[in-house]
Structure 1
């Protein structure tokens, strides 16, 4: 039963308002029963002091709706006690037809606030297809966030969602093909709406690369994505490389896919060229780890008149850089309560010569560019490096004095700290075997750099506050062609550069969400290249929805805990009725519903209540 307001204009000039109850007639699909509850005259309401009779009647209807929700109602229904529990082939309880999920309402709120429904509907109306791509797209996203599984499994369990589920498995795959065709426009739309609705700031852009493996032994041909390469999990199967751009809010911006044997360093320039991010018209600061530290990448960023903040290994640096890092002079120290040094920071600006092979030929090209270098030492990182090395050193000591027929040196694992004799002046001496000797000198050399790391950048600020342009925002930046520095409109100390680089850990945590976390993006089971690309597109947008939900919650809950709570937030339909009983509720669900202003607060809900709640999540005027 629902309340509706109608009106009747009289010839006298008065307006009569009616508040009616509308209820469904059992056995009839289209007929409804209407009963008048209250009647008001506009003239009489004005005489009583109501300036806006229509607004008064609407408020009164809302009051009646709220009162009806709080009325205690009882009903009789029958239960078939002969129905037994059944198991699926995988040993899990089946999702029965009378059990529905309510947790997807949180993602529905975000989906519609981002106006993804309008994006899809504006395009599907020109397609000649007998299925609703918008519905299928939502189910693919919500299922990936709640119960990550194959597309077939998602289709088989589509009935756990309320609403339209009348589509076939082939419709799912056809929808994936269409979505892939819209990929660029879809990512641009998503980026624009995140900026508009959630205040995305993309001056600082984080970039990193990871890979995902496939459950197959053979790689694709040269035109395919799957190839055997250095897998992050050290698995032998073919992999795909994915480069990810992320903003300061920890919300993904864009992604690019690369063949599995592509070097991490080579992905950055390709990702910049193919990304929806405009690196040429607006000033950006690209933040990346030492795997992206190459002369070509730096020149790529500088040629676009942008900034970079990229780390570099001190151990692999030149002798002058090492000497400057280990020098006791120039450090700004931070002390703990006991007066012990917790961290140190210092910087220098130097002209730097570097070289790389060019794009047009195989010749080596070199050049000089100015660079700001920030040196940091951290006691926490120093202690961690010693702990991580301790196990390797212990294994090396256990092997000291043992014989081996393997004369080849190694820089990895325990062999890193083992010398192999007989060796003379770096040359192997003829022998039947070699003897392991612990290399204390190499250990001492490595320990010198524990806790030190170097951040290279061309980002600077104004020299003092007098140089700040009051007409420009603090984040405004301009590129200084005379020396190649990107100048921000505020003072930028070395500590701020360290803080900018420190945000890179968030992208690593995002990768964990896609792998071992809640999205379970790997392993990938698709074989066709277009379906693989469509799979990553769906997973990426699911990732954006998940991170936006975490942002709305103030990052107080992990992605995995959110998934566990929302996937368990189900309602069970009572036998022979349209009443659903909420079967699970916890503090995370309660926080999400209150944060997103979703009204699911009662243990028993009618089907009409659930339709109303789902309809509310589709409103565009919600601001969070």
Structure 2
């Protein structure tokens, strides 16, 4: 079946075309094929195009969807590819709102590097947020799977590495610009800054060789005063329970709104206690107003406390309850009534004698956590009791061997008591002492103006940092790290930080999780078509949810036809 075109001469001598729907039938008697006209469309110059479109649509409804689309499309028009558009479009919009693109291009003008370094770095950040992979895999992702505005030419891995090396050089200036622009965009409150660290390990059995480092842990050349220290990837106290593998330590400062304002990386054997002093120095010139530093128990040394109070600063620090410190024992011994703050949190401020401490101490109590702690302890005691049952009949050496096994399990060792005769018993006094601590944590604060309630709620927001670590490791996939050189590892951490910054802003403005936002945006695609008249790229139609996300973020809709 086909459309037959015939022509006729008018009285005036003009040629007029006529269109007919026809097909060929075999005449068995004459043994020839004859044309049979099924329908006449009339004159070609007076064709009812709308009527034909309705007819095609009606016929396509009788076919399978794929067959109907193929039948309705012009034979010359070909669909070449489809790439994800929505996620990168939104991240790029936030990237530009923060002025990161303009800042990078401005700094690039003083170098010999090409301007598209900024686009490459954005693409690597978008890759962490949308489809985390190695840098080599990221180049294929950029070339085939995603639409990055201004980055149509292929990107090779060497270009990524050069861009990452440059990022390390400009990180201090860039971090300050990003912070200022983020504070303006979100009207951030930065009276509280939360700091915490984590570790990330490497799937290799070899640690880096020793290098010369200055007092801040930064590598220096042999000609400078330096102390030989462990390499960047080295063994340390793992927060991932992988002490068998070399690691690095990563630190992050976060506002009370959960916005990560800066990130650091240190050698894997760096102790937490000294890090917060370097962080305070790095942010000294950021023109921050009165700031209260909030950190966990690992940073509560006397030296850290003195350092954080320089230039009028203050702190809220977690205090060890089980360390047996005079301050903790005195605080827990004070009587007083708890006041309800929020949810299940209750607080009680206690005043210590100035001989012990000039700081304020706040005991926090959560009844739900008390129930959980008691249940965990009961389980531990049951396990311990099962292990030592019948041990009285063992020889002294066998009991000593069992005691050694239990000593490797901190949760059980805490409740084990050995009699003068070497017998193993459950320590009831230790159980009673632990029960007195169920659901409680102790805070130490130097600020005389904050209320006990604000101190407790401020410390509770330290969970925002912990949520950041979870997202860094599970959504952005900070690990595994495919680099060996220290600067490349540091640059990788910075890319993860920038990705976390963008997704936190998206979450703050929309009220949705990044996983939900990403899944919805990645359904917005850009298709490429080609035909006799050329090629064009057109996006899919926006859904109501996608429009709502763009509105919440203050971003325009992507244009319908790109090229």
Which TM-score tier does this pair reach, normalised by the shorter chain? 0.7 to 0.9
Match of 2:294, SS state, is: strand
Task: Tell me by how many angstroms 1:301 deviates.
Answer: 1.2
Task: Tell me by how many angstroms 1:122 deviates.
Answer: 1.3
Whole-Å Cα distance in 1 between the matches of residues 341 and 73 of structure 2?
A: 71
1:529 and 2:486 are equivalent in the alignment: yes
Whole-Å Cα distance in 2 between the matches of residues 379 and 456 of structure 1?
A: 21
Residues 546 and 559, structure 1, Cα contact 8 Å, conserved in 2: yes
1:200 and 2:206 are equivalent in the alignment: no
Which residue number corresponds to residue 147 of structure 2?
Answer: 161
1:340-397 CA distance string (max 9 Å, x none):
x9554221333556xxxxxxxxxxxxxx751111122221221121233333222112
Candidates 284, 290, 307, aligned match of 1:283: 290
Which residue number corresponds to residue 464 of structure 1?
Answer: none
Which residue number corresponds to residue 31 of structure 2?
Answer: none
Which residue number corresponds to residue 476 of structure 2?
Answer: 519
Matches within 5 A, 1:29-108: 76-78=73-75, 97-108=81-92
Whole-Å Cα distance in 1 between the matches of residues 116 and 351 of structure 2?
A: 58
1:134 and 2:141 are equivalent in the alignment: no
Structure-2-length-normalised TM-score: 0.74
Task: Tell me by how many angstroms 1:246 deviates.
Answer: 1.0
Shift in alpha-carbon separation, 1:317–1:545, aligned structure 2, 3 A: same
Candidates 196, 221, 235, aligned match of 1:228: 235
Residues 198 and 249, structure 2, Cα contact 8 Å, conserved in 1: yes
Task: Tell me by how many angstroms 1:320 deviates.
Answer: 7.0
Task: Tell me by how many angstroms 1:323 deviates.
Answer: 5.6
Candidates 414, 417, 420, aligned match of 1:419: 417
1:548-589 CA distance string (max 9 Å, x none):
111111xx32233333333343333346452535289573x3
Whole-Å Cα distance in 2 between the matches of residues 144 and 260 of structure 1?
A: 23
1:192-218 CA distance string (max 9 Å, x none):
111222212222111111111112111
Residues 179 and 534, structure 1, Cα contact 8 Å, conserved in 2: yes
Residues 572 and 583, structure 1, Cα contact 8 Å, conserved in 2: no
Whole-Å Cα distance in 2 between the matches of residues 150 and 129 of structure 1?
A: 23
Whole-Å Cα distance in 2 between the matches of residues 292 and 120 of structure 1?
A: 34
1:398 and 2:386 are equivalent in the alignment: yes
Structure-1-length-normalised TM-score: 0.67
Task: Tell me by how many angstroms 1:527 deviates.
Answer: 0.4
Whole-Å Cα distance in 1 between the matches of residues 353 and 357 of structure 2?
A: 6
Task: Tell me by how many angstroms 1:333 deviates.
Answer: 3.7
1:540 and 2:497 are equivalent in the alignment: yes
1:471-524 CA distance string (max 9 Å, x none):
xxxxxxxxxxxxxxxxxxxxx4211211111111111111111012x1111121
Candidates 269, 272, 277, aligned match of 2:277: 269
Matches within 5 A, 1:422-433: 423-424=419-420
Matches within 5 A, 1:110-125: 110-125=94-109
Whole-Å Cα distance in 2 between the matches of residues 530 and 320 of structure 1?
A: 42
Structure 1 unaligned runs (5+)? 1-74, 84-95, 354-367, 462-491, 609-624
1:494 and 2:478 are equivalent in the alignment: no
Shift in alpha-carbon separation, 1:607–1:344, aligned structure 2, 3 A: closer
Whole-Å Cα distance in 1 between the matches of residues 92 and 558 of structure 2?
A: 18
Candidates 546, 552, 573, aligned match of 2:528: 573
Whole-Å Cα distance in 2 between the matches of residues 335 and 300 of structure 1?
A: 30
Match of 1:206, SS state, is: strand
Candidates 347, 357, 363, aligned match of 1:375: 363
Which residue number corresponds to residue 350 of structure 2?
Answer: 348
Which residue number corresponds to residue 440 of structure 1?
Answer: 428
Whole-Å Cα distance in 1 between the matches of residues 505 and 202 of structure 2?
A: 28
Residues 373 and 456, structure 1, Cα contact 8 Å, conserved in 2: yes
Shift in alpha-carbon separation, 1:444–1:460, aligned structure 2, 3 A: same
1:299 and 2:306 are equivalent in the alignment: yes
Which residue number corresponds to residue 325 of structure 1?
Answer: 332
Residues 399 and 436, structure 1, Cα contact 8 Å, conserved in 2: no
Instruction: Tell me how many residue pairs correspond in the alignment.
Output: 456
* Consecutive aligned runs of 4 or more in structure 1 exceeding 6 Å deviation: none
Match of 1:246, SS state, is: strand
Whole-Å Cα distance in 2 between the matches of residues 165 and 131 of structure 1?
A: 14
Shift in alpha-carbon separation, 1:596–1:335, aligned structure 2, 3 A: closer
1:249 and 2:265 are equivalent in the alignment: no
1:39-61 CA distance string (max 9 Å, x none):
xxxxxxxxxxxxxxxxxxxxxxx
Candidates 465, 471, 491, aligned match of 1:507: 465
Which residue number corresponds to residue 33 of structure 2?
Answer: none
Whole-Å Cα distance in 1 between the matches of residues 509 and 341 of structure 2?
A: 35
Which residue number corresponds to residue 540 of structure 2?
Answer: 582
Candidates 314, 321, 336, aligned match of 1:314: 321
Shift in alpha-carbon separation, 1:593–1:437, aligned structure 2, 3 A: same
Task: Tell me by how many angstroms 1:181 deviates.
Answer: 1.0
Task: Tell me by how many angstroms 1:128 deviates.
Answer: 2.7
Match of 2:203, SS state, is: coil
Whole-Å Cα distance in 2 between the matches of residues 107 and 280 of structure 1?
A: 28
Shift in alpha-carbon separation, 1:438–1:515, aligned structure 2, 3 A: same
Shift in alpha-carbon separation, 1:116–1:333, aligned structure 2, 3 A: closer
1:240 and 2:227 are equivalent in the alignment: no
Which residue number corresponds to residue 215 of structure 1?
Answer: 203
1:184 and 2:172 are equivalent in the alignment: yes
1:160-196 CA distance string (max 9 Å, x none):
2144232322111111111111111110111111122
Shift in alpha-carbon separation, 1:331–1:579, aligned structure 2, 3 A: same
Shift in alpha-carbon separation, 1:281–1:542, aligned structure 2, 3 A: closer
